[in-house]
Structure 1
């Protein structure tokens, strides 16, 4: 069944009706999202997931609408505590939708692990000795995971580097592995452990670290969108969006906040689907360092010949559909079912599309009304609750704060008192 992510009036529904609307569009049972209830992760399951468990922390899960990826409409689960994130992604996806939405591609899902060898007398010659045994080492690593090989994955490469430090030069072997639909940490770490003694023997040194690298620069997902100038707010807004990008490209101080906005979308989808947010964030920020060693923008913005804004984003996406919390956490399984993705590569592409949508929304806001107005308007509900509003008072108090464009706690309490005085 073809999905429609353009759900008019979705935000005005109550939670039960939103769930049913999403389930219908995704051809899922009406109760498919019940695992997203606060009790979706019970304490017994939580205790099996990590050590020393004392409870469960709830994070709101929203659904981004309007998202079109490679011609397919997708409803995207996003887990975040920050107001405006889901709304911003949905709004930017609606703008991108005018010119066909997001076009995405990705590389083969290759992860790498490193084996560090210390106390090597002749590191340059040692590097070559290890490379001369390339086929032997690859076969040794490949034998650690026959299931991965049967699924079409497995070792694709062995490289060896020398890394100079203060008092010696380390020999560092990299084993590169197509991990298929897994995130891949366990697979590559097991292989690194297996090959470490032989690599060290060949290098004539002592093996030390045997661990994956989260710089997943051989596992890249890409997204591109063409943004109609009129849908953005006019040609001047389009030009100013490009100016805003250029500052992020040139200035690390701006780039840090620019990229954080991208990660608002990326991390929300990664978390909702039970994947490792820290691994994805580490890889993304490492990817933001250019060849000269300067931290810069992860995304790019250009004007095409017709004056439309062309936005692009490339990110490492070490995410999986099998293993870890993606299998053990009921809410993660429900979120994955909602996306309709069938491979880890598809999930990575969806994540990057949402990251780009988030970035588009932020730059458009900065180029027009400023980021704070829209953010605080959506944050007003939290302020109303913090001021002590009862459930039937939250909506009118929120509306009053937005109308006043004043969001301080004192102001909210004063407005609430006036409302109650009129009751």
Structure 2
């Protein structure tokens, strides 16, 4: 269903929720829940973390019309950074006009390892372990039989020697779950037999967040006419964006901020869907350094003949649609409703596309108006709120702050006093 989002950002919060419900994007139950602005129920929070005192709320927003693999998604964001939602919305609109994102899930398996030490003969131990691979996979699956019923299970096992360690790796198809618990259970079940086969000691048995068997690639092509109505200016912007992408490949100082911008969007969606953003970031940053130097995760190239700017982003994305806190948090349930109940592979595709969109918006801003231009109005609004402005005072105070270019709390307070004297 095609939805006209014009004026969505100008509506009140309750009008936005009503709009989503009327368009069939949100159930009446979830509309009423979000309208009450309730945070995580404390009885649930107490089961999720020890020493719970309360729950912390962050803005829960929507980025409309992300076109990924020919399907349009309404994407929930959880973020405290003011410009992230606006930037993602801008990028989603531009890239949708150019045909949207294409995303490919290369594979979806989690990796874990048993680290063995004090192995008297690593070569002999390696041979024994590999010759027993079938039995070891059966042993792993027996430790978590329910995953077999869902079509998943342990898939492969391999061995590597690294200095004094003999590392035994296990690959797991965890289906819709992230798979940490089931993988750790399997690895711990394997440890005694691996000790027997290797005549060594098990140091630890644990999953790896460097999920190189769960890679996802998102790509897009942007017609240069959407960068600027002026053909020469559009060409120049695209050339600069390509240069900015190259800079992130050769300078780790730039690469760090380049990748942080990608995760402005990724973290916002991962949080909204109740997934482990720390695990996703850890794996992605390790992937960024796989060549031995930390590099930008995305690449943009200009095709001057076809007048297109091409973007590509590949990331480990072991995301889940079930398990963990996903079924506990009612706001997370609303997120899956807005997204159309995607399964894990589909959700992974959306997330990587969101990262590429966020990167597009950041690079375009950096090479044109600069990053601060987009932040100014939102920063001024934050200052107005901190200064104590009431709802009707915010707009005129923001206007004064932008005109005066004094972006600090003292200036906001002084301008607010002047407004109130009028």
- Fold shared, TM-score > 0.5 on shorter chain: yes
Native 8 Å contact 1:181 1:321 kept in 2: yes
Query: Counterpart in 2 of 1:381?
Result: 381
CA distance in 2, matches of 1:103, 1:74: 13
Is structure 2 residue 10 aligned with structure 1 residue 12?
A: yes
Q: CA deviation at 1:28?
A: 3.0
Query: Counterpart in 2 of 1:256?
Result: 256
CA distance in 2, matches of 1:129, 1:163: 18
Is structure 2 residue 175 aligned with structure 1 residue 180?
A: yes
Q: CA deviation at 1:401?
A: 2.1
Query: Counterpart in 1 of 2:198?
Result: 203
Counterparts of 1:261-340 in structure 2 under 5 Å?
261-291=261-291, 293-304=292-303, 305-340=305-340
CA distance in 2, matches of 1:125, 1:24: 67
Query: Counterpart in 2 of 1:75?
Result: 74
CA distance in 2, matches of 1:258, 1:25: 36
CA distance in 2, matches of 1:122, 1:379: 62
Q: Residue 326 of structure 2: SS of its match in structure 1?
A: helix
Query: Counterpart in 2 of 1:87?
Result: 86
TM-score by length of 1: 0.95
CA distance in 2, matches of 1:341, 1:301: 31
Task: List per-residue Cα deviations over 1:378-404 (Å, max 9, x = no partner).
Answer: 222111101111122112212332343
Q: Which runs of 5+ in 1 are unaligned?
A: none
Q: CA deviation at 1:26?
A: 4.3
Native 8 Å contact 2:365 2:371 kept in 1: yes
Q: CA deviation at 1:125?
A: 2.1
25, 28, 32: which is aligned to 2:26?
A: 28
Native 8 Å contact 1:38 1:58 kept in 2: no
Counterparts of 1:403-422 in structure 2 under 5 Å?
403-422=403-422
Q: CA deviation at 1:147?
A: 2.2
CA distance in 2, matches of 1:309, 1:406: 36
CA distance in 1, matches of 2:351, 2:404: 36
Q: CA deviation at 1:185?
A: 0.4
Counterparts of 1:148-159 in structure 2 under 5 Å?
148-159=147-158
Native 8 Å contact 2:40 2:330 kept in 1: yes
Q: Which runs of 5+ in 2 are unaligned?
A: 229-233
TM-score by length of 2: 0.95
CA distance in 2, matches of 1:141, 1:177: 10
Native 8 Å contact 2:336 2:342 kept in 1: no
CA distance in 2, matches of 1:406, 1:94: 32
Native 8 Å contact 1:3 1:74 kept in 2: no
Query: Counterpart in 2 of 1:140?
Result: 139
